[in-house]
Amino acid sequence: NTTYFELPITNYVELSIYNLLGQKIERLVSATQPAGKYTVKWDASHIASGIYIYRIKTDHWQDVKKMILLK
């Protein structure tokens, strides 16, 4: 699975995957990054198919979305 995001300014970014119980499965990004476009690949080979939630958070913004992992 691949996720794309863009930063208009340098910012701390945290991108994490959660199960539907709210338990953090994996943290994909946890770093200060300069402005630009980014691609993050999630190696979900060890994770079961199902519905997951990803959360991207910066110092000024956050977003939460559902995703379906099919194998």
pLDDT in tens, 17-70: 999 999 999 999 999 999 999 999 999 999 999 999 999 999 999 999 999 999
Residue 13, exposed/middle/buried by CB under 10 A (0-12, 13-18, 19+)? buried
* pTM score of the predicted model: 0.86
Residue 44, exposed/middle/buried by CB under 10 A (0-12, 13-18, 19+)? middle
Residue 8: pLDDT over 90: yes
The whole-angstrom separation of Cα 13 and Cα 49 is: 26
Task: Give 6's pLDDT tier (boundaries 50, 70, 90).
Answer: very high
